[in-house]
Structure formats: structure tokens, C-alpha cells
Amino acid sequence: MTDLSRRKVMIGTATAAFAAAAASAHAASFGNPDRPPEGAINARNRQGLTDPGPRDDMLARQFPSAQDAPATDVNGMPQFWSSFNNAHKRIQNGGWAREVTQEDFAISKDISGVNMRLSAGGIREMHWHQQAEWAIMLDGKCRITTLDEEGRSSVQDVKAGDLWYFPPGLPHSLQGAGTTGAEFLIAFDSGMASEFNTLLVTDWLAHTPPEVLAANFGVPVESLKDIPVDNLWIFQGKEPGPLAAAQRASASKKGPPALPVTFSLAGSTPVRKTRSGYVQIADSRNFKISQNVAAALVTVVPGGLRELHWHPNADEWQYYIKGKGRMTVFDTGPKAMTADFNAGDIGYVKKGLGHYVQNVGNTDLIMVEVFKADHFAEVALSDWLTHTPPEMVMQTLNISAETLAQFPRDRPDIVPE
């Protein structure tokens, strides 16, 4: 390269750098922080905002915050959105199930989720697994049975808004009851757990020598010749009879488990309630058997906001039951990413990361927050800022005493109060 051509290159670079500096000088204001600036507000060349290439409009419209992220977002955060809506259904006679595990959703280390439907009489085969099983009923009625390590048996019926919890390793069965069957959400306390990979009673019996089975149960080999050679997993059964009769028929001399395996979360008294919504909590303090899963059922009215907060003790796995939500997650860096959620979608927030959930629809937003923890724990930003010496907060945020005095002081959880 000659001196002359090198000089030309340098001038060209300097001109481009000057143009970039001029563009960014326009940025860095309230609601539009950081350099280089992000967001449509900073795109002076509007052509750069268009999307002429391939796109699926119907899908794209579900994600306005991804298509046109707020200028406060900063890219570089792992995906924390997933969904049951596009999860593959395993359908059999009697019902179906679909799941989102860590294999599908890398961030979800603590929890894997299953959404299951059982027709009236439909049976999820007797089974067990190494993980704890927490569930919330979404529709209909379900009959659940289990046995604990002391040999105490339980048969219960649950309805929408009820929970069940099976500690790791304890055997259980599920059956759609009532006239409409059941739909529910299961959360396992491990991201790698799978509903398609459980210890099934039919598999065990089919893979044990017949003479061993006969000796085990004290019956002739011949009497077991019709047991299934393939597992059932989900199958259509007869509709279960009256609950009291089923409880009597399976009763143990040792009685029922010391701790109830079901809990009515939707029927519990809210721990927080404002004009914008309410929060109901189930953890080992009120649902004592639930030693490894804590949960909050959150209802936010249109226009309401689940206030800025974080959880000091565990990752949060979210399931959206109803309505439309928008959440931004904040991490060091800074990084911030906003995503949209509809019924059937899943969100995940790593332990300690700041977030809010805003109802951006015109119906109530109902979501459940699930934690691999023995108790629910939360720190709210407004609570912290109003219980720190005011001079500290005013100097840090450059706000007036009058403004700070208006902040909520009692951790409302859902605002406006």
C-alpha cells in the first residue's frame, strides 16, 4: 500500500466514526440509555427497521417485544421463553401429555414441566420416579392415589386450582374423573426429568421372570399369564366410582400419610391483595409435604403490574394460565430482555435476577410461579428503596424527597395499590 492510499483509508474510517458518534449523541436519555443505543427510537434510517425477508406473520405478531424491543433492552441474554403450545403431544387412548424439559429449554435447570390431559376414566399408569412431582389442576377433576414409605395410602379427588405433591420415589396413579376428565400441569424438581421416562409397574412385571412374580405374590404362574407385555403409560379405564368407596377399598391399617398430599391453592387466602390483583402461596409452611417445591399463583387485572422484584433463594419457572403478559429480565452487564407470554407459555428467571410482569391484555392475567425451594422468598425493589435511609436513595437516583415519599412502602406485589 502506498502512503497515499493508506491516507485515503484513514480518512474514510474517521468519517464513518464521526457519523456514528453524531447518531449516538442523540441517545442516552431517560428510557433510552447506553451506547451503542438499541431500539427503533435510535434508528434514524427507517429502512433499517423493515423486515423484507421471510417471515411468518401470525407467529411474529405474538412477539411484539421481540420484533420491536424497548430501547431499554440490551441484547445478550439466554432465551427464557418457551411454550407448551408447540410442544409435541404424545397421544394415546385415554389422554395425552407434552413436556418442556431442559433438553428443549436450556435455561431450565431446576424444573421440567408437563401438561397432561386425561379423559373421564383415562388413566396415567401406576408409576414412580426419582424426582418430586408437584402439580396444579387446570380443568376438570382428577383422582390421585399414592402410598408413602410407611405404607400409608391416600386416595383424593382434586379440581381446578388444587395442587398435589408426591415426594421423590413415592408411587402414584392419576385418573380423569367427573364427566369432563382432567387437565393439569406437572412440575418436576429437575430440569432433566421426563414424563416419558418413568418407572412403570407394567414394565417391571413384564421384565421379571414369571416364577419370581408368582413367588412374590404367592399365586400360581398361570394366574399372571395375561399381564401386559408392553407398558400402558396412558390408557382408557372405567370411570372411577365414589371416592369414599375407593378410600375404604385401599385403606391401610396405618392410616393416611401424616401430611396431606393435596392443597387448594386457588381456595387459599391471598398473602397480598390490592385493587390490581392478588398473590396466593403454597410452600412447606402451609402445604407441609411440599418440601422441595414452593409456588405462587398470581392474578393481575388489566393494566396491573407485578412489581419489580427478585427471588433470593431459587430460579423461577413460570406457567401462564390465562391472559397476556410482558416480562423484562435484568442481569449484570447490564443486560435486559423483554418477552411476551400467552396462555400455555413458560418463562424462566434465574435466581436473583430482577424482573416484573405486566398485564398487557384486556382480561385478568393468571400465572403460576414455581421454585425448587422449601419456601417462597422475594425482595421487592420498592420495599428496599423505602426501607433504606432516604438520603442514600435520593442521592443514588437523583430524585426528590417528594417523589420518594410516594413510593409504596408495604410491598404491594401488584400495583397500582
DSSP string covering 308-326: EEE-SSS-EEEEEEES-EE
Please say which residue, 263 or 356, places its beta carbon nearer to Mn ion: 356
Largest interatomic CA distance in the chain: 100
Given a contact cutoff of 8 angstroms between Cβ atoms, the answer to whether 135 and 186 are in contact is yes
CB of residue 358 to Mn ion, shortest distance in Å: 13
Cα-only R_g, the chain: 27
CA distance linking residue 21 with residue 28, whole number of Å: 12
What is the closest distance, in whole angstroms, from the C-beta atom of residue 22 to Mn ion in the complex?
Answer: 41
Nearer to Mn ion, 38 or 166 (CB): 166
C-alpha cell at 355: 424482573
- Neighbouring-strand partners of residue 147: 153
Q: Residue 407: CB partners within 8 Å, gap ≥ 6?
A: 382, 385, 386
Q: Which lies closer to Mn ion via its Cβ, residue 74 or residue 281?
A: 281
**Helix ranges, 57-130 (H):** 57-61, 64-67
Choose, from 150, 369, 378, 417, the residue flagged as catalytic: 369
CB 122 within 8 A of CB 94: yes
Of residues 38 and 203, the one with the C-beta less far from Mn ion:
203
Burial code (b: 16+ CB inside 10 Å, e: under 16) for 195-220 equals beebebbbbebeeeeeeebeeeeeee
Considering beta carbons, is residue 127 or 324 the nearer one to Mn ion? 127
Helix, strand or coil, per DSSP, at residue 417: coil
Q: Which is nearer to Mn ion, 37 or 412 (CB)?
A: 412
* Nearest-angstrom CA–CA distance, 94 and 76: 43
- The span from the CA of 389 to the CA of 276, in Å, is 28
Contact 162, 266 (CB under 8 A): yes
**Residue 199 β-bridge partners:** 128
Amino acid (one-letter) located at 353: L
- Write down the least CB distance from residue 48 to Mn ion, Å: 35
Cα separation, 84 vs 100, whole angstroms? 7
Task: Sort 53 into a burial class: Cβ within 10 Å, 0-12 / 13-18 / 19+.
Answer: exposed
- Residue whose CB is less far from Mn ion, 181 or 325: 325
* Residues of the shown chain interacting with Mn ion in the complex, contacts defined by CB under 5 A: 133, 316
Residue closer to Mn ion by CB (options 37, 294) is 294
Query: Which helix (DSSP H) or strand (DSSP E) does residue 335 occupy?
Result: strand 335-341
Report the candidate in 114, 95, 96 with the shortest Cα–Cα distance to residue 104.
Answer: 114
Is 307 an active-site residue? Answer: no
Catalytic positions, please? Answer: 369
